[in-house]
Structure 1
Amino acid sequence: MSTRLSALAASVTLLTGLTGLTAPAASADQPPASAPAPAGGPVVNLATNPGFELPAPNLADWGSIPGWTCTGGPAEAAVTTAAPHTGTSALTVTPAGADSTGECAQTVAVQPNTTYTASAWVRGSFVHLGATGTGNDVAPAWTETTGGGWQQLTTRFTTGPNARSIRLYVHGWYQQGPFSVDDVHVDGPAPAPAVQAGSVPTTDKVVFFTVDDGWQRTPEAEKFIADHHLPITAFPLPMPAGTDPGFFQRVTAVPGSSVQDHSVSHADLSKLPLAQQQVEICDARDAMTRLFGTAPVLFRPPSFAWNADTLQAAANCGIRTVLTADADFSWGAANIWHPGPLQPGDVVLMHWSDTLATDLQRALAAADAAGLKPAGVVDYLH
């Protein structure tokens, strides 16, 4: 315990030196006067599930906090209805051991060379709010104690020239007890909406095979992909991907292949408000990143159901392209939704199903007949 308390004292001294604070902190260093001005467009709150009011999507991991990843999982972090700052809910974290700060975090899409203001209302002792990956180090905002009530922490940061996302975090401190968080903000200009595409403009003689969902994983499909050295763009849901990540690693081992985002619950996103669509897309992005080590750059809307909010929600999750298709070879079908045979740049839809091996064989024959070769779609979308 003495070691942790010594670390706490040292951290307080360091943070006080960084922020110039002599009392419980409510903000961190401000960007210099020469910092770039915010980009054009209205200032909005970019945080996902900022008030902890949104329900977890169907098929989400039990106990997960929509929009957030907490290091201690449900053993430490839970949404509670006890005395929130506003609304009906807040996040309460009870670090489970002496080595835990109870950190919860989320990835937020940002623009380069732009100033953002992050804030959160907190309750507890030695609660911290900060951001990493900004390109310009800024000390976290923190407070020694909120005296049993709610206190707002605020920090500002200016992103570097290469920053496209930041990691926003809140945490307590070792052996300092529970803390609560509510009404989180990352205020700044929203990214431009993602672009919807059903095909890829190219004169190269290529076609793109995409495979959705992931519930039925057959050795026949895996063997066909390996034997024919097929680049596959996989859009699995987090639950089947997490059940058998090795399968998806094997079927996307051919160069050009990748694993992308298909939402958490396969819901009709066009019937959900933007905030819930953002949870569906961002949480699936986080799951794919944890499982496969690379953040998705494409989003496939379930059942091709999307609207303008989908494009903004995808952009808020750092995704630039919402990809549908212009041909469907699933479950024995051979539908091309334009006149004539497959054309360069066509995106072909299939599903991880018990017919996938024969579906792939039929799609490959159609591509061969049109003089096209399968390629990786990510290589063609920039």
Structure 2
Amino acid sequence: MSWLKNSTLAKKGITKPEGDVLVEKIPLRLKPEEEVLAREIQRESARVWNTVMTIHRLFWLRYGIWIDEAMMKEFLKGRFEVHSQDVQAIVETYYECWERTKKLHKEGHTEWRYPWRLKRYFTPTWKVTGITAEDGYLRLSNGWKKPPLKVKLPERLKGLKIKQVQLVWRRNGYWLHIAVVKPALEKVQGDIVAAADPGEVHALTLTDGKEALVISGGHLRSLHRLRNKTLRKFQKALSRCKKGSNRWRKLLEAKYRFLNWVEAQISHVEHAITKMAVDWCVERGMKKVYIGDPQGVRKQDCGRYHNQRMHQWDFGRLRDFLGYKLNRHGIALEQIKEGSTSGTCPVCGHYTKQSGRVFRCGNCGFSGVHRDVVGASGILDLAVNGRFTEGRDLPRKVVYLRPSVLAPVAKKCRKAAAA
């Protein structure tokens, strides 16, 4: 959010809306004439971005002054064939990027560049005044010079307050990103601290010192393998076709359809994993969860196939999902370094490089505990005590679970079940 928007909201006394603002992503199936309209809106939005960037730079080069955000909005008013709120949103986005880059330069990160690239398409944004929800449809106004874009709303979004809508092109089609206000969840009233150890084999391991939960990542690994194998077949077939031919276009469309499907499956499993972790934390009244940062594993060269698994491991997205879900319950998530946590013995404190799933100490011979449980316990020890404590107690109860994934049901099956 730009400085102008922050200061304006503060002066008006506007606070956060009641409830939680979440973004719902919806794929669109537009008619040919609707696709033409969407493309024209994107082009006009790009023209707004290019104009803002050009004017901002030109005034500095010619007169040595930077035009502020309010003056830019006033100058561009009524000059483009999109909704006025879209123009304001683009101006705010530009100044937000510019201010962030300026701050990074002051901190010494001079490799970051100010906005400079001219765009052919740009993501349009509709605010509250340009959005109308009626009869199960979402009407997105484009000013008086262009017809509105009308989209059918899913059942789960009907009746919810919509704060903002963006039209996004993703891979081979348009998507709507809708910011909606959902009812706030009850905050957890507890004082327990827990730790989470993310992993590629076991997606998350959580412990509060007394109990531990190990959530399997096998389903995620199988989806990644399926994506790799299928993409290899598509790329091999595409390499034998002439670019632009009918066969090439059909293969490319099939490839995109598969990628959309498999990525939706991966996202669903990640949501299921984090939902199980959040439920576990809420039941035990957690107030804070420490999660390990495994960023260093990607810098290690452990062979072609292992490196591929590490680079496809979406621990950052899993952490983001876990963070916003915990935050809705009033539980804080803090990231700390997890170096040596899975290999340091909880009994003698000696570090041993592990090769299996069961922890084995090369110094005192301690073993019999899952190494991810030892890792989560080590993260909790570092977070609470600032060091590894010798002779610490490990969780007495360890539960192993697989994420409960909902399978899609065909229309015929649903009708038969209803009958």
**How does the TM-score come out when normalised to structure 1?**
0.29
The structure with the greater share of residues assigned to helix is 2
The structure with the greater share of residues assigned to strand is 1
The structure with the larger Rg is: 2
Q: Between the two structures, name the one with larger relative contact order (CA 8 Å, sep ≥ 6).
A: 1
**How does the TM-score come out when normalised to structure 2?**
0.27
